[in-house]
Structure 1
Amino acid sequence: MPSTTPRRPHAPRRAGRPAATGVWSSAGDRNSFASQLLVIEVVLLLAVVVPSWALAVNAAQNSARAEAISRARTLVVTLSHDDALIAAVLGPDPAAALAERVELLRAANSIGFLVVMTPAGIRYTHPDPAQVGQKFQGTIAGAQQGRITVEDYTGTLGRSVRVVAPVHRPDGSLAALVSAGVPLTSISATVRASAIQLGLLALGALAVGVLSAVLVSRRLRRQTYGLGPLGLARLQTYYDALLHSVGSGLVLVGHDRTVVLCNDEARRLLDAPLVAAGASISALGVEAGLGELMSSGRRCDGEVFATPARTLVVTQAPARLDGQTLGWVTTLADRTDLVRLTGELDSLRSFTESLSARAHEADNRLHTVSVLVEIGEYEQAVGFATATLAVSQALSESVSAAIEEPALAALLLGKAAQALERGVQLTVVPGTLVPVTGLAPGDLVVVVGNLIDNAIDAAADGEGAAQAPWVRVGGSLRVGTLELEVADSGPGLHPGIVRQAFTRGWTTKSAGAREDSPHGRGLGLALVDGTVRRLGGTIEVQAVHGSRLIVRLPVPGRDRGLAR
């Protein structure tokens, strides 16, 4: 026969770093996710920085060229309207009159060359005196027509960007041409200096980017335990399969008190719907006590909770990483069968104790009868024997006649002996008839046994009672419903605490009170409530001369109309 004892859930292992991440590595996953991300980040940085530097250098080159053209244009336009230049051009010796002044203007404006020429292009001035009187090398047709022209041209001083403008007499006729130019080598030198500066800035940005990528990669390596994408995927797959395949129910709750994971077994035990990650704990539909525990994150080990369908043993522990609480893990195990078997065992134990007590009483009675016979008191011996035997026989006969369920009958006989030891008289209500209903004997034992235990405690601890403490048990089958009642002469349950009395942990016992129940203090009525609700029954509490609890359980398949 397979064992029905559920495995005790183990406390979840404290979250930490894997002892050997190599377990999750593979030949096809040599580089960690962090290393691959570092390479990608460096490549992206290069792809951004290098083109950006090239664009910046090109912009600097265009800017230098535009600035050179602007300087040359400004100079030639200014000279084309200069009266002194016009007078010198119209004088007898334009070359001599212009040479010194033009050179000063060229140097002052950082121009490569400044040339004044005839309308036909014969030079009056040139930085190289040997070129004076020679033909200007470049395009002057536009200037001869009164326009300002700009071009790149290779002349006596090398390739340059040059501007040519016309010089007019006061009457508007063309008197001369003036040209200013900047060698491209000068522009290139300016651009080269800018490129070096931009390159240093780009290298600095690249260094900062790479350093940041390295730091991010190192942090990511620690957080991913050096695993690559394949290792992370495999780890996630294994963990997910493990969490959903374990025999115990697992509920992972985040630090924000939302459900991270609820495996299949947990949903079965809680009768919970399929909830998405991030849902609130209330979405699981758990009982108030269990829901409060799961929301609090309080550490617990092996606490028992009664739900409408099952009795669960719960273990809860926080999940920590590097000293930081990420959430907590709640482990659930089904204890329903264990409680049922424990109840049956409790009834057998009670019956055994009853037999032991009766054997002890019988031994004392026989000893007393034998002494009375020895001293010749025959009538007293017969009277004593028949009187003591009648009490026990009456109880056994009343139980046997009223209770047809063997396990329940044995339970009552055992509880009667326990009650007698505590000075409480346990009797069966006249007219009681409890047939074999088909309900699980273990469930009946859990319900009736715990009710009787609480009744005996209440009756025995009652103060100021006018009569001897008592407990009465009754039952009947009415229209497909098994009705069981347990009454006692105790102080009774105040209407304001009836609901609280059926919650886990509630008890009226003092710290030193006797606890024979195998279920622990404050759990008996909670087990009764959970079992009754699981069977689809109800519990009624009446405060009449103490307490009277009536349990009604549906009995499917029984003949309707069977009464007490």
Structure 2
Amino acid sequence: MAGQAIALQVVVIALIVVAGSALALVDARGDGDAAARQQVLGIATALADAPSTAEAIESGRATEVLQPVTEAVRTHTDIAFITIMAPDRTRFTHTDPDQIGGDYIGTIAPALRGETFTEVYTGTLGPSIRAVAPVRNAAGDIVGLVSAGILQQSLADRWRAQWPGIAAVVLGAVAVSAVGLWAIRRRLLRQTHGLRPDELRVMYEHHDAILHSVSEGLIVLDADGVALVNDEARRLLALPSGAVRQEDLPEFLRSFNPGARDEIHVTDERVLVVNRSPVRLPRHPESSHAEVVTIRDRTELQGALGELNSLKVLTDSLRSQAHEAANKLHTVVTMVEMGRPDEAVTFATDELELSQRLVDRLSEAVSEPALVALLLGKAAQADERGIEFTVTEDTQLPAAADELLLTGQEMVTVLGNLIDNAMDACDRAEPWVEVTVHQDAHRLLIRVADSGEGMDVNTFAQAMTRGYSTKVSDDADRHGLGLALVAQVVNRHGGTLSTDVTYGSVVTVTVPRR
């Protein structure tokens, strides 16, 4: 492609230079002829107007007086001839002395009428450009004529003498053009990496197909901003169509952070896993501020993981209770064998009544099965960890599932993460967690309190906008993601998420009915 483009430009430049040179030569020739006409016209007029010319003609000594003068002028001005003649064409002067006394060959009628004119005529010396002017005496009568001429052969010699200069200019223009075209070709080859047009086409088609079909979001950032965004990245980040500015990107992509691996970020609608790799772009080889960002959607997986975690907690609790029940069963059997059946019955039913009352109360007050399972599992988990877990008497949800302001999955996400954070943050000297879930005709209220110190406003705001944790452990990412996921659900439904420290560290979620 570079060779074809350069060849075309060479042909175009050559045609332009040749045409320009031809025009320059024609123009030079025209200018030479015009200058010659002006020169011979000026000489003829000057000699004709000189009083000495008319006096010499009238004195009868024209040849003797004027021949030396005309030859001196001719030699000095480098013209072909100066002829002074009588009105009847008889020559008084001539370049060739043998022609003196002969008849002048050429047009004189206009001069006899008192006009000064120029013409091209072939005389004794050959084709020439000549001027003829009348000579007047003091009385104004025409007493003679002056003709001055330049041979066309001399003009051709002058014109040809200009060819080397024009040729030098032409060669210089071609040389400069060739250097410029070579530089353009080199730049074009460097920018296309020497690829042929068909290779560039195949590369573009493959590149375009991959960008539109890849299941991960892909963004290329360089020193100028956003260089490339594929369709999946636009969908995941809700970016506008057309050109994307750096200001359109989420806050976590506006800073240069190459090398990040599996970062979890929460937007208003999604949970995203982000990886960032530094690259060097051909356009900016000196710049290190370029990176490729890949984005994976983890929203559905995160919701499934939340539900699975709740079920795992419940399963672990049931397994622990089954083991505990086996111990209690052995105790009851032994007490019966010892002849103490009444005490065995009391031992077996006391704790069962407490657990059953909690199950019955939650099943009656909370219509969502997933939420009942979550609360029972968290209660068992808290009991194992020595945390006093309370579900307040204010807890109440509508019986009809279509009246709930949050779905079961969203309830599990919000309440599960808040309870996990509360159990991790409560005071170990006096651990307790209190949960309230209540929905009325106007709003849904979820309140989780614990005995911990709580978070200040700035820390809480940071935790809501992005995965943040005060824990230093392998599970810090999971715990830090909790409040961000809660904030995502709350924002989706136009609710509010706040914290305060009153009778404990209290986190409150309010979702209005819309």
TM-score w.r.t. the length of structure 1 is 0.78
The match for 1:306 is: 266
> Is the contact between residue 274 and residue 296 of structure 2 (CA under 8 Å) also seen in structure 1?
yes
The match for 2:294 is: 331
Q: 2:513 and 2:213 mapped to 1: Cα distance? A: 36
Instruction: Say whether 1:547 aligns with 2:505.
Output: yes
Instruction: Say whether 1:355 aligns with 2:279.
Output: no
The match for 1:208 is: 176
> Is the contact between residue 423 and residue 460 of structure 1 (CA under 8 Å) also seen in structure 2?
no
> Is the contact between residue 143 and residue 164 of structure 1 (CA under 8 Å) also seen in structure 2?
yes
Give the superposition deviation at 1:410: 3.3
Give the superposition deviation at 1:455: 0.6
Give the superposition deviation at 1:346: 0.8
Q: 1:515 and 1:384 mapped to 2: Cα distance? A: 41
Task: Report the residue type matching 2:370 in the other structure.
Answer: A
Give the superposition deviation at 1:107: 1.0
Deviates more, 1:358-367 or 1:425-434: 358-367
Task: Report the residue type matching 1:153 in the other structure.
Answer: Y
Task: Report the residue type matching 2:18 in the other structure.
Answer: V
Instruction: Kindly indicate whether structure 1 or structure 2 has the higher relative contact order, using CA contacts under 8 Å at least 6 residues apart.
Output: 1
The match for 2:41 is: 73
TM-score w.r.t. the length of structure 2 is 0.85
Q: 2:328 and 2:415 mapped to 1: Cα distance? A: 32
Cα distance change, pair 407–186 in 1 and its aligned pair in 2 (3 A): same
Q: 2:188 and 2:20 mapped to 1: Cα distance? A: 28
Instruction: Say whether 1:41 aligns with 2:1.
Output: no
> Is the contact between residue 391 and residue 434 of structure 2 (CA under 8 Å) also seen in structure 1?
yes
The match for 2:426 is: 459
Deviates more, 1:356-365 or 1:441-450: 356-365
- Structure 2 segments unaligned to the other structure (5+ residues): none
Cα-to-partner distance string for 1:285-322 (whole Å, 9 max, x where unaligned): xxxxx622232243333322222222222334456423
SS at match of 2:480: coil
1:122-201 alignment, distance < 5 Å? 122-201=90-169
Deviates more, 1:34-43 or 1:190-199: 34-43
The match for 1:503 is: 465
Q: 1:81 and 1:330 mapped to 2: Cα distance? A: 94
Instruction: Say whether 1:247 aligns with 2:215.
Output: yes
Instruction: Say whether 1:523 aligns with 2:481.
Output: yes
The match for 1:491 is: 453
Deviates more, 1:61-70 or 1:157-166: 61-70
Across the two proteins, how many residue pairs are aligned to each other?
A: 506
Q: 2:29 and 2:190 mapped to 1: Cα distance? A: 47
> Is the contact between residue 475 and residue 484 of structure 1 (CA under 8 Å) also seen in structure 2?
yes
The match for 2:379 is: 416
Task: Report the residue type matching 1:42 in the other structure.
Answer: V
Q: 2:204 and 2:98 mapped to 1: Cα distance? A: 85
The match for 2:281 is: 321
> Is the contact between residue 485 and residue 551 of structure 1 (CA under 8 Å) also seen in structure 2?
yes
Cα distance change, pair 261–350 in 1 and its aligned pair in 2 (3 A): same
The match for 1:450 is: 417
Q: 1:496 and 1:305 mapped to 2: Cα distance? A: 18
Give the superposition deviation at 1:167: 1.9
- Structure 1 segments unaligned to the other structure (5+ residues): 1-31, 285-289, 557-564
The match for 1:270 is: 237
SS at match of 2:497: strand
Give the superposition deviation at 1:534: 3.0
Give the superposition deviation at 1:390: 6.2
Q: 1:444 and 1:53 mapped to 2: Cα distance? A: 87
Q: 1:373 and 1:428 mapped to 2: Cα distance? A: 36
Instruction: Say whether 1:280 aligns with 2:238.
Output: no
The match for 1:106 is: 74
Q: 2:90 and 2:481 mapped to 1: Cα distance? A: 120
Q: 2:316 and 2:377 mapped to 1: Cα distance? A: 6
Give the superposition deviation at 1:183: 0.9
> Is the contact between residue 264 and residue 467 of structure 2 (CA under 8 Å) also seen in structure 1?
no
> Is the contact between residue 160 and residue 182 of structure 1 (CA under 8 Å) also seen in structure 2?
yes
Give the superposition deviation at 1:424: 1.9
Task: Report the residue type matching 1:437 in the other structure.
Answer: A
SS at match of 1:179: strand
Task: Report the residue type matching 2:304 in the other structure.
Answer: L
> Is the contact between residue 339 and residue 446 of structure 1 (CA under 8 Å) also seen in structure 2?
no
The match for 1:343 is: 306
Q: 2:161 and 2:250 mapped to 1: Cα distance? A: 72
SS at match of 1:502: helix
Cα distance change, pair 516–107 in 1 and its aligned pair in 2 (3 A): closer
Cα-to-partner distance string for 1:433-463 (whole Å, 9 max, x where unaligned): 44573654433222111101111122146xx
SS at match of 2:253: helix
> Is the contact between residue 492 and residue 545 of structure 1 (CA under 8 Å) also seen in structure 2?
no
Cα distance change, pair 233–515 in 1 and its aligned pair in 2 (3 A): closer
Give the superposition deviation at 1:51: 2.2
Task: Report the residue type matching 2:7 in the other structure.
Answer: V
Q: 1:437 aligns with which of 401, 408, 412?
A: 401
Q: 2:393 and 2:298 mapped to 1: Cα distance? A: 36
Structure with the higher helix share, 1 or 2: 2
The match for 1:22 is: none
Give the superposition deviation at 1:213: 1.6
> Is the contact between residue 114 and residue 125 of structure 1 (CA under 8 Å) also seen in structure 2?
yes
The match for 2:21 is: 53
The match for 1:560 is: none
Q: 1:475 aligns with which of 437, 443, 461?
A: 437
Task: Report the residue type matching 2:242 in the other structure.
Answer: A
RMSD of aligned residue pairs (Cα, Å): 3.5
Deviates more, 1:537-546 or 1:193-202: 537-546
> Is the contact between residue 310 and residue 531 of structure 1 (CA under 8 Å) also seen in structure 2?
no
